[in-house]
Amino acid sequence: MLVLGIETSCDETSSALVTDGKVMLSNIIATQLDLLKKFGGVVPEIAARRHTELIGYVIEEAVDSAGKALTDVEAIAVTSKQGLIGCLLVGVAAAKSLSYSLRVPLIGVHHIEGHIFANLLSNPQIPMPHICLTVSGGHTMLVYVQDYCQYELLGSTLDDAAGEAFDKIAKFLGLGFPGGPAIDKLSTQGNKKAFSFPRPLLRANTLDFSFSGLKTAVINAFKHRIANNEVLPLEDIAASFQEAIVDVLVSKTLHAALQRKVSAVSVTGGVSANRRLREVFLDTCQQKGIEVFFPELSLCTDNAAMIAAAGYARLGRGEMADLNLNVFPNTPLEVQGGS
Protein backbone atom coordinates (compact mmCIF):
# COMPACT_ATOMS: atom_id res chain seq x y z
CA MET A 1 0.00 0.00 0.00
CA LEU A 2 1.38 3.36 -1.08
CA VAL A 3 0.87 5.94 1.69
CA LEU A 4 1.45 9.67 1.27
CA GLY A 5 2.48 11.31 4.54
CA ILE A 6 2.15 14.96 5.51
CA GLU A 7 3.84 16.59 8.51
CA THR A 8 3.47 20.28 9.41
CA SER A 9 3.26 20.20 13.20
CA CYS A 10 6.08 22.65 13.86
CA ASP A 11 8.56 24.27 11.52
CA GLU A 12 9.18 21.64 8.85
CA THR A 13 6.87 21.29 5.85
CA SER A 14 7.21 17.70 4.74
CA SER A 15 5.60 15.13 2.49
CA ALA A 16 6.71 11.58 1.74
CA LEU A 17 5.73 8.40 -0.05
CA VAL A 18 6.23 5.12 1.79
CA THR A 19 5.27 1.64 0.59
CA ASP A 20 3.78 -0.78 3.15
CA GLY A 21 5.20 1.26 6.02
CA LYS A 22 8.67 0.00 5.14
CA VAL A 23 10.11 1.30 1.89
CA MET A 24 10.69 5.04 1.76
CA LEU A 25 10.31 6.21 -1.84
CA SER A 26 10.66 9.91 -1.06
CA ASN A 27 10.87 12.17 1.97
CA ILE A 28 10.78 15.87 1.07
CA ILE A 29 11.48 18.26 3.94
CA ALA A 30 11.36 22.03 3.53
CA THR A 31 12.96 23.56 6.60
CA GLN A 32 12.39 27.07 7.78
CA LEU A 33 15.98 27.49 8.85
CA ASP A 34 16.21 30.97 7.32
CA LEU A 35 13.29 32.13 9.49
CA LEU A 36 14.54 30.28 12.56
CA LYS A 37 17.93 31.94 12.31
CA LYS A 38 16.29 35.32 11.95
CA PHE A 39 13.97 34.92 14.93
CA GLY A 40 16.09 32.57 17.09
CA GLY A 41 13.27 30.04 17.24
CA VAL A 42 9.85 29.09 15.91
CA VAL A 43 7.23 31.83 15.57
CA PRO A 44 3.92 29.96 15.21
CA GLU A 45 2.15 32.40 12.87
CA ILE A 46 5.16 32.76 10.60
CA ALA A 47 5.68 28.98 10.53
CA ALA A 48 2.02 28.41 9.62
CA ARG A 49 2.23 30.95 6.79
CA ARG A 50 5.29 29.22 5.43
CA HIS A 51 3.49 25.86 5.53
CA THR A 52 0.64 27.36 3.47
CA GLU A 53 3.16 28.65 0.96
CA LEU A 54 5.09 25.38 0.62
CA ILE A 55 2.61 22.56 1.19
CA GLY A 56 1.65 22.11 -2.47
CA TYR A 57 5.25 22.10 -3.62
CA VAL A 58 6.42 19.47 -1.14
CA ILE A 59 3.50 17.18 -2.02
CA GLU A 60 4.25 17.52 -5.74
CA GLU A 61 7.97 16.90 -5.14
CA ALA A 62 7.28 13.87 -2.91
CA VAL A 63 5.19 12.29 -5.67
CA ASP A 64 7.49 13.26 -8.56
CA SER A 65 10.76 12.25 -6.92
CA ALA A 66 9.27 8.86 -6.02
CA GLY A 67 8.55 8.36 -9.72
CA LYS A 68 4.85 7.99 -8.99
CA ALA A 69 1.65 9.75 -9.98
CA LEU A 70 -0.75 11.23 -7.46
CA THR A 71 -3.34 8.70 -8.59
CA ASP A 72 -1.06 5.85 -7.39
CA VAL A 73 -1.48 7.00 -3.77
CA GLU A 74 -3.68 4.61 -1.76
CA ALA A 75 -3.94 6.42 1.59
CA ILE A 76 -3.10 9.74 3.24
CA ALA A 77 -1.51 9.97 6.70
CA VAL A 78 -1.15 13.32 8.44
CA THR A 79 0.08 14.59 11.78
CA SER A 80 -3.07 15.68 13.58
CA LYS A 81 -1.98 15.39 17.20
CA GLN A 82 0.60 17.36 19.10
CA GLY A 83 2.08 20.50 17.66
CA LEU A 84 1.27 24.11 16.94
CA ILE A 85 -2.43 24.39 16.19
CA GLY A 86 -2.17 26.77 13.22
CA CYS A 87 0.56 24.63 11.68
CA LEU A 88 -1.28 21.33 12.20
CA LEU A 89 -4.41 22.81 10.58
CA VAL A 90 -2.61 23.52 7.29
CA GLY A 91 -1.33 19.95 6.97
CA VAL A 92 -4.68 18.45 7.94
CA ALA A 93 -6.53 20.71 5.45
CA ALA A 94 -4.19 19.53 2.68
CA ALA A 95 -4.54 15.88 3.73
CA LYS A 96 -8.34 16.00 3.75
CA SER A 97 -8.42 17.69 0.35
CA LEU A 98 -6.21 14.94 -1.07
CA SER A 99 -8.16 12.16 0.61
CA TYR A 100 -11.43 13.60 -0.69
CA SER A 101 -10.20 14.21 -4.18
CA LEU A 102 -8.35 10.90 -4.62
CA ARG A 103 -11.08 8.96 -2.73
CA VAL A 104 -8.55 7.21 -0.51
CA PRO A 105 -8.56 6.63 3.27
CA LEU A 106 -7.31 9.31 5.65
CA ILE A 107 -5.59 8.68 8.95
CA GLY A 108 -4.50 11.14 11.66
CA VAL A 109 -1.19 10.34 13.38
CA HIS A 110 0.24 11.46 16.72
CA HIS A 111 3.51 13.30 16.14
CA ILE A 112 5.36 11.32 18.83
CA GLU A 113 4.14 8.04 17.39
CA GLY A 114 5.67 9.28 14.14
CA HIS A 115 9.05 9.66 15.84
CA ILE A 116 8.80 6.14 17.24
CA PHE A 117 8.16 4.90 13.69
CA ALA A 118 11.09 6.93 12.32
CA ASN A 119 13.34 4.52 14.14
CA LEU A 120 11.31 1.46 13.10
CA LEU A 121 11.55 2.64 9.49
CA SER A 122 15.35 2.77 9.75
CA ASN A 123 15.66 -0.36 11.92
CA PRO A 124 12.74 -2.75 11.36
CA GLN A 125 14.55 -5.30 13.52
CA ILE A 126 14.03 -3.35 16.79
CA PRO A 127 12.55 -5.93 19.18
CA MET A 128 9.25 -5.47 21.01
CA PRO A 129 8.84 -4.42 23.72
CA HIS A 130 11.49 -1.71 23.97
CA ILE A 131 12.04 1.71 25.49
CA CYS A 132 11.96 4.73 23.18
CA LEU A 133 13.49 8.07 24.10
CA THR A 134 12.02 10.82 21.93
CA VAL A 135 14.10 13.90 22.29
CA SER A 136 13.90 17.12 20.27
CA GLY A 137 13.34 20.85 20.54
CA GLY A 138 9.69 20.24 21.37
CA HIS A 139 9.72 17.20 23.66
CA THR A 140 11.70 14.83 25.84
CA MET A 141 9.79 11.63 26.54
CA LEU A 142 10.42 8.10 27.65
CA VAL A 143 7.92 5.68 26.17
CA TYR A 144 7.48 1.97 26.82
CA VAL A 145 6.71 0.57 23.38
CA GLN A 146 4.91 -2.65 24.19
CA ASP A 147 4.14 -3.37 20.58
CA TYR A 148 3.27 -1.50 17.39
CA CYS A 149 0.78 1.22 18.34
CA GLN A 150 0.77 0.26 22.05
CA TYR A 151 2.46 2.75 24.29
CA GLU A 152 2.87 3.75 27.88
CA LEU A 153 4.37 7.11 28.73
CA LEU A 154 6.97 6.64 31.48
CA GLY A 155 8.28 10.14 31.85
CA SER A 156 8.60 13.49 30.14
CA THR A 157 10.14 16.86 30.76
CA LEU A 158 8.65 19.04 33.45
CA ASP A 159 9.94 22.24 31.84
CA ASP A 160 12.24 22.66 28.83
CA ALA A 161 12.74 19.98 26.21
CA ALA A 162 16.39 18.92 25.85
CA GLY A 163 16.63 20.41 22.37
CA GLU A 164 15.08 23.61 23.66
CA ALA A 165 17.79 23.82 26.35
CA PHE A 166 20.42 23.36 23.60
CA ASP A 167 18.81 26.16 21.58
CA LYS A 168 18.50 28.54 24.50
CA ILE A 169 22.07 28.04 25.70
CA ALA A 170 23.39 28.34 22.14
CA LYS A 171 21.47 31.57 21.75
CA PHE A 172 22.84 32.83 25.06
CA LEU A 173 26.41 31.95 24.05
CA GLY A 174 25.87 33.60 20.67
CA LEU A 175 26.24 30.36 18.71
CA GLY A 176 23.13 30.78 16.57
CA PHE A 177 20.27 28.46 15.67
CA PRO A 178 19.75 25.51 15.77
CA GLY A 179 21.69 25.17 19.00
CA GLY A 180 22.31 21.41 19.10
CA PRO A 181 24.69 21.11 16.14
CA ALA A 182 26.47 24.36 17.12
CA ILE A 183 27.12 23.21 20.69
CA ASP A 184 28.04 19.70 19.54
CA LYS A 185 30.62 21.14 17.13
CA LEU A 186 32.14 23.52 19.68
CA SER A 187 32.21 20.76 22.31
CA THR A 188 34.67 18.70 20.32
CA GLN A 189 37.34 21.28 21.21
CA GLY A 190 36.32 21.61 24.86
CA ASN A 191 36.84 19.82 28.15
CA LYS A 192 33.59 18.20 29.21
CA LYS A 193 34.75 18.00 32.82
CA ALA A 194 35.77 21.67 33.12
CA PHE A 195 32.48 22.62 34.73
CA SER A 196 30.44 20.35 36.91
CA PHE A 197 26.93 21.38 35.94
CA PRO A 198 23.94 19.82 37.74
CA ARG A 199 22.24 16.68 36.43
CA PRO A 200 18.63 17.53 37.36
CA LEU A 201 16.46 14.70 38.71
CA LEU A 202 19.20 12.17 37.98
CA ARG A 203 19.08 10.54 41.40
CA ALA A 204 15.39 11.15 41.95
CA ASN A 205 13.09 8.18 41.71
CA THR A 206 11.32 9.42 38.60
CA LEU A 207 11.64 9.06 34.86
CA ASP A 208 10.68 12.69 34.33
CA PHE A 209 13.22 15.23 33.15
CA SER A 210 14.00 18.84 33.98
CA PHE A 211 16.48 21.03 32.14
CA SER A 212 15.54 24.48 33.31
CA GLY A 213 17.85 24.47 36.35
CA LEU A 214 20.77 23.23 34.28
CA LYS A 215 20.19 26.10 31.88
CA THR A 216 20.28 28.59 34.77
CA ALA A 217 23.47 27.02 36.15
CA VAL A 218 25.20 27.46 32.78
CA ILE A 219 24.06 31.06 32.50
CA ASN A 220 25.19 31.78 36.08
CA ALA A 221 28.62 30.24 35.47
CA PHE A 222 28.96 32.40 32.39
CA LYS A 223 27.92 35.57 34.20
CA HIS A 224 30.16 34.80 37.16
CA ARG A 225 33.20 34.63 34.88
CA ILE A 226 32.25 37.86 33.15
CA ALA A 227 31.77 39.64 36.51
CA ASN A 228 35.20 38.48 37.69
CA ASN A 229 36.86 39.38 34.40
CA GLU A 230 37.90 35.77 33.95
CA VAL A 231 38.52 34.19 30.56
CA LEU A 232 35.48 32.55 29.04
CA PRO A 233 36.26 29.08 27.76
CA LEU A 234 33.15 28.83 25.56
CA GLU A 235 34.12 25.41 24.26
CA ASP A 236 34.48 24.10 27.83
CA ILE A 237 31.09 25.51 28.82
CA ALA A 238 29.53 23.97 25.72
CA ALA A 239 31.19 20.57 26.29
CA SER A 240 30.30 20.46 30.00
CA PHE A 241 26.72 21.53 29.34
CA GLN A 242 26.27 18.95 26.59
CA GLU A 243 27.77 16.26 28.83
CA ALA A 244 25.25 17.04 31.58
CA ILE A 245 22.31 16.70 29.20
CA VAL A 246 23.67 13.53 27.60
CA ASP A 247 24.34 12.05 31.04
CA VAL A 248 20.74 12.60 32.14
CA LEU A 249 19.22 11.32 28.88
CA VAL A 250 21.31 8.14 28.80
CA SER A 251 20.99 7.33 32.52
CA LYS A 252 17.22 7.75 32.60
CA THR A 253 16.71 5.73 29.43
CA LEU A 254 18.81 2.87 30.76
CA HIS A 255 17.07 3.11 34.10
CA ALA A 256 13.74 2.69 32.31
CA ALA A 257 15.13 -0.24 30.30
CA LEU A 258 16.26 -2.05 33.46
CA GLN A 259 13.04 -1.26 35.27
CA ARG A 260 10.97 -2.70 32.40
CA LYS A 261 13.45 -5.52 31.73
CA VAL A 262 13.72 -4.81 28.01
CA SER A 263 16.75 -5.70 25.92
CA ALA A 264 16.62 -2.76 23.52
CA VAL A 265 16.25 1.00 23.49
CA SER A 266 15.60 3.35 20.60
CA VAL A 267 16.50 7.03 20.50
CA THR A 268 14.63 9.31 18.13
CA GLY A 269 13.86 12.98 17.43
CA GLY A 270 16.12 15.87 16.42
CA VAL A 271 18.55 15.52 19.36
CA SER A 272 19.12 11.85 18.47
CA ALA A 273 21.39 13.17 15.72
CA ASN A 274 23.75 14.54 18.40
CA ARG A 275 27.21 12.96 18.02
CA ARG A 276 28.04 12.82 21.73
CA LEU A 277 24.63 11.42 22.66
CA ARG A 278 25.07 8.56 20.19
CA GLU A 279 28.61 7.91 21.41
CA VAL A 280 27.62 7.65 25.09
CA PHE A 281 24.52 5.59 24.32
CA LEU A 282 26.56 3.12 22.28
CA ASP A 283 29.25 2.80 25.00
CA THR A 284 26.90 2.49 27.94
CA CYS A 285 24.49 0.12 26.23
CA GLN A 286 27.32 -2.13 25.16
CA GLN A 287 28.49 -2.37 28.78
CA LYS A 288 24.98 -3.26 29.95
CA GLY A 289 24.27 -5.69 27.12
CA ILE A 290 21.41 -3.63 25.76
CA GLU A 291 20.89 -2.98 22.06
CA VAL A 292 20.49 0.65 21.01
CA PHE A 293 19.01 1.97 17.77
CA PHE A 294 19.04 5.38 16.10
CA PRO A 295 17.19 6.48 12.97
CA GLU A 296 19.18 7.47 9.92
CA LEU A 297 19.99 11.18 10.08
CA SER A 298 17.30 12.29 7.61
CA LEU A 299 14.65 10.70 9.85
CA CYS A 300 15.81 12.31 13.11
CA THR A 301 14.14 15.67 12.65
CA ASP A 302 10.47 16.09 11.80
CA ASN A 303 9.57 14.38 8.54
CA ALA A 304 6.58 12.92 6.75
CA ALA A 305 8.04 9.46 6.05
CA MET A 306 7.67 8.56 9.73
CA ILE A 307 4.05 9.78 9.64
CA ALA A 308 3.34 7.64 6.56
CA ALA A 309 4.88 4.60 8.31
CA ALA A 310 2.85 5.16 11.48
CA GLY A 311 -0.29 5.82 9.43
CA TYR A 312 0.17 2.54 7.59
CA ALA A 313 0.34 0.65 10.90
CA ARG A 314 -2.83 2.38 12.11
CA LEU A 315 -4.68 1.66 8.88
CA GLY A 316 -3.63 -1.98 9.22
CA ARG A 317 -5.54 -2.02 12.49
CA GLY A 318 -8.63 -0.81 10.69
CA GLU A 319 -8.39 2.72 12.06
CA MET A 320 -9.43 5.54 9.77
CA ALA A 321 -10.44 9.17 10.05
CA ASP A 322 -13.26 10.93 8.23
CA LEU A 323 -13.41 14.38 6.67
CA ASN A 324 -14.13 15.94 10.07
CA LEU A 325 -10.66 14.99 11.38
CA ASN A 326 -9.71 17.66 13.89
CA VAL A 327 -6.34 18.73 15.25
CA PHE A 328 -5.30 18.22 18.87
CA PRO A 329 -2.28 20.30 19.88
CA ASN A 330 -1.86 18.67 23.32
CA THR A 331 -3.29 15.15 23.22
CA PRO A 332 -1.12 12.61 25.10
CA LEU A 333 0.37 9.73 23.14
CA GLU A 334 -1.77 7.05 24.72
CA VAL A 335 -5.03 8.61 23.57
CA GLN A 336 -5.50 7.09 20.16
CA GLY A 337 -8.19 6.63 17.61
CA GLY A 338 -9.04 7.60 14.08
CA SER A 339 -10.13 11.18 14.60
CB of 177 to another protein, least distance (A): 14
Contact 15, 23 (CB under 8 A): no
Cis peptide before 127 (omega within 30 of 0): no
Taking the least distance from each CB to another protein, the nearer of 77 and 325 is 325
C-beta of 318: minimal distance to another protein in Å? 21
Measured from the CB atom, the residue of 168 and 255 that comes closer to another protein is 168
Nearer to another protein, 111 or 192 (CB): 111
Report how far residue 111's alpha carbon sits from residue 43's, in angstroms, rounded to the nearest whole number.
19
Minimal distance in Å, beta carbon 35 to another protein? 9
Instruction: Give 205 or 324: the residue with its C-beta nearer to another protein.
Output: 324
- Cβ closer to another protein: 101 or 205? 101
Minimum distance between the CB of residue 94 and another protein, rounded to whole angstroms? 5
Q: Rounded CA gap, 314 and 81, in Å? A: 14
Per-residue 3-state assignment (H helix, E strand, C coil) for 251-313: HHHHHHHHHCCCCEEEEECHHHHCHHHHHHHHHHHHHHCCEEECCCHHHCCCCHHHHHHHHHH
In the complex, the residues that contact another protein under the rule CB under 8 A are 38-39, 43, 45-46, 48-49, 51-53, 55-57, 59-60, 70, 85-86, 89-90, 92-94, 96-98, 100-102, 322-327
Are 234 and 218 contacting, i.e. CB atoms less than 8 angstroms apart? no
CB of 14 to another protein, least distance (A): 15
Which C-beta is closer to another protein: that of 81 or that of 130?
A: 81
Angle between helices 162-172 and 212-227 (to 10 degrees): 20
**Measured between alpha carbons, how far is residue 192 from residues 172, 177, 182, 207, 307 in Å?**
19, 22, 15, 24, 36
Question: CA 93 to CA 172: how far, in whole Å?
Answer: 37
Distance CA 122, CA 201 (A): 31
DSSP letter for 190, please: S
Closest distance between another protein and the C-beta of residue 28, in Å?
A: 13
